[in-house]
Amino acid sequence: MTLLEPDVALTDFGLAAECALFAGWLYARDRARAPVVRWFIILFVALGVGALLGGITHGFLADPQSVASRTVWAATLLAIGGVALASWAIGAHLLFTASGAQRVLLLAGVLFALYTGAVLFFSQSFAVAIVNYVPAAAFALAAFVLTYVRRRAAYMLPGIAGLLLSFAAAGIQQGGIAALGLSHNALYHVVQALALLLIFLTARGLAQEAR
């Protein structure tokens, strides 16, 4: 079997496997049923689905105008919307009481519904996904920083570094930066893999604290 863009597809599949591992670990150890940990599980599942679909696109779908390609792309954008929703929820549960978090989740749910409608009926531009995702990621980063300041919990530091590295990875992709014999998309995936590991370390710390 020949992949259309082997480095991009394989690193996408690697990201999907990494996210599945992280989500599975958290699910198996979430005995306290902590809401913030559950949302981390959803975050990694959504990221994994998006990476898997990206691998399928870059590996097997040569015609971007085909029905299959457009369908997979739409599903990829919806997965990114799921990542944004989970990011809002994680930040809300870190910063607020249960009732406060519910109000943020209500707003995030409305934003997700509007985003879904935009993707399905108006535009499948990646710019739409960026506009939806960046505020959520920035909110999660602020929540990580404030939680560290409040609790002085060392396990928050890897997550802060991971989110910052995730922004740097996006800059690599959008800037078309290639290195180490990898295309800009493949390099983005490699950097993002490290970022997700750091974010997982924070999720693991929160899961252990909730026990």
Q: Classify residue 24: in a domain, yes or no.
A: yes
pLDDT band, residue 4 (cuts 50/70/90):
confident
In a domain, 151, yes or no: yes
Structure tokens at 170: 């996006």
Residue 117 lies in a domain: yes
* 198 assigned to some structural domain: yes
Q: Which pLDDT belongs to residue 118?
A: 94
Summarised one tens digit per residue, pLDDT across range 103-122 is 999 999 999 999 999 999 99
Contact 160, 144 (CB under 8 A): yes
What pLDDT was estimated at residue 54?
A: 92
Confidence band, pLDDT 50/70/90 cuts, at residue 2: confident
Residue 210 has pLDDT above 90, yes or no: no
pLDDT in tens, 51-76: 999 999 999 988 888 999 999 999 99
Integer CA distances (angstroms), 59 to 8, 51, 53, 172, in order: 8, 12, 10, 21
Q: Is residue 150 part of a domain?
A: yes
Question: Which residues, in sequence order, are CB contacts of 184 under 8 Å at separation 6+?
Answer: 172, 173, 175, 176, 177, 178
- pLDDT tens per residue across span 150-196: 999 999 999 999 999 999 998 988 888 888 788 998 999 999 999 99
| 41 belongs to a structural domain | yes
Instruction: Kindly state whether residue 1 falls inside one of the protein's structural domains.
Output: no
Instruction: Residue 125: give the domain boundaries.
Output: 6-210
Q: Please list, in sequence order, all residues whose beta carbon lies within 8 angstroms of the beta carbon of residue 192, skipping any fewer than 6 positions away.
A: 15, 166, 169
What distance in Å separates the CA atoms of residue 74 and residue 122, rounded to the nearest whole number?
Answer: 11
Alpha-carbon 167 to chain mean position: 11
Q: Is residue 143 part of a domain?
A: yes
pLDDT for position 1 = 66
Band (pLDDT 50/70/90 cuts) for residue 79 is very high
Number of independent structural domains in the chain: 1
Q: How confident is the model over 26-44, as pLDDT tens digits?
A: 999 877 688 999 999 999 9
What pairs with residue 26 in β-bridges?
none
